[in-house]
Amino acid sequence: MNLQSRLKEEPEVNLTSLIDVVLLLLVFFMVSTSFVRETEISLRLPQAQAQSSPVEQAESLEIMITQTGNYLVNGRALVNNERTTLRTAIQQTVGDARGLPVFVRADAQATHQAVVTAMDVAGQLGFVQISIATVTPPEG
């Protein structure tokens, strides 16, 4: 009978499988998390502050946008609301005078895309004084 005591082996902890599980959980939570959109822009539309008389311009270009997205250039309605039609109408109205101020007037129900399109066309034609017309809020 052999009564010698055996050497006890130290228990070994294998962390490889634990690390694998933790990484899989990390990937799962990263993929399934919905992110909060904190980068949205809060937009405050412009309004006139004082009752000042508008400065009369000798010549100006006025682009009006209706509720349905139709354009009027200096009070004259266009055939359609295409970019090329708007560009042609502006060129025919002002000719080569690119120093004129441009006023964009839009209905409250008009889409932002129609306003941006009008400003973009005016900018591409070389106009640099582009303003958006505002209204005075009713007192009460």
Taken in order of first residue, the domains within the chain and their CATH numbers are 61-132 (3.30.420.270)
pTM here is 0.56
Give per-residue pLDDT as tens, 11-54: 788 888 899 999 999 999 888 887 666 555 565 666 666 665 55
> Which strands, in side-by-side order, build the sheet including 61-65?
76-77, 71-73, 61-65, 102-106, 130-132
Tell me the DSSP string of 30-80: HHHPPPP-TTPPP-------S--PPPPPSS-EEEEE-TTS-EEETTEEPSS
